[in-house]
């Protein structure tokens, strides 16, 4: 098994984000074309040039089509075409691995905190290595306040107030 670093995680997130954002962007453009009455089933989604030219033509005719930065979209498309599917799968595995490790680390810290009772400073130092927050249950000492007993007069006033409340209902 290869060594995976946090830098690998960030790279994986970036790759997947590019892939997904491009798909969402093209999906919005196709949706707008469909709203404008274009039969999108006839458009080849891999022919980015015809997709762009149709969208630009509709926009010039006054249809509400998202303004397209043609060069930016073409560049994104080139990047997507050059992406190796194995790289995307590896990025997915890296992210899943991180999530699994993160959950495991959180759970372990929680258990250690409860059972061993490690000091909060020690737990926080360990948690910071993983970017986690430690939730420590603090023991709260209950303060017992002496409560004065009600005098007979006060008890009678409360009874009268309760009776009046019940009668109003």
Q: Per-residue pLDDT tens for 6-54?
A: 889 899 999 899 888 888 888 888 888 888 888 888 887 677 778 878 8
Q: For residue range 121-166, what is the model confidence (pLDDT) as tens digits?
A: 776 776 777 777 665 444 444 454 555 566 777 778 778 877 877 7
- Alpha helix locations (H) across the chain? 6-35, 48-60, 70-82, 85-115, 120-130, 152-168
Confidence of residue 1 (pLDDT cuts 50, 70, 90): low
Angle between helices 48-60 and 6-35 (to 10 degrees): 50
Task: Supply the pLDDT for residue 140.
Answer: 44
Mean of the pLDDT values across residues 85-111?
87
pTM over 0.75: no
Residue positions counted in the chain: 169
Q: For residue range 66-97, what is the model confidence (pLDDT) as tens digits?
A: 666 677 887 888 888 888 889 889 999 999 99
b vs e for 13-27, b when ≥16 Cβ sit within 10 Å of the residue's Cβ?
A: eebbeebeebeebbe
Angle at 127 (CA atoms; ends 126, 132), nearest 5 degrees? 170
């Amino acid at each position: 098994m290869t060594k995976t670093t946090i830098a690998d995680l960030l790279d994986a997130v970036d790759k997947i984000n590019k892939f997904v954002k491009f798909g969402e962007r093209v999906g919005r453009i196709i949706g707008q074309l469909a709203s404008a009455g274009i039969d999108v089933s006839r458009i080849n989604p891999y022919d980015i040039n015809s997709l762009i030219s149709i969208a630009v033509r509709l926009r010039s005719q006054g249809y509400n089509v998202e303004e397209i930065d043609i060069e930016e979209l073409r560049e994104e498309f080139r990047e997507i075409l050059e992406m190796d599917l194995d790289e995307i799968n590896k990025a997915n595995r890296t992210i899943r691995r991180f999530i699994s490790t993160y959950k495991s680390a959180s759970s372990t810290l929680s258990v250690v905190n409860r059972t061993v009772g490690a000091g909060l400073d020690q737990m926080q130092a360990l948690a910071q290595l993983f970017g986690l927050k430690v939730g420590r249950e603090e023991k709260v000492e209950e303060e017992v306040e002496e409560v004065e007993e009600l005098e007979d007069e006060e008890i009678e006033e409360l009874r009268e107030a309760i009776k009046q409340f019940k009668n109003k209902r």
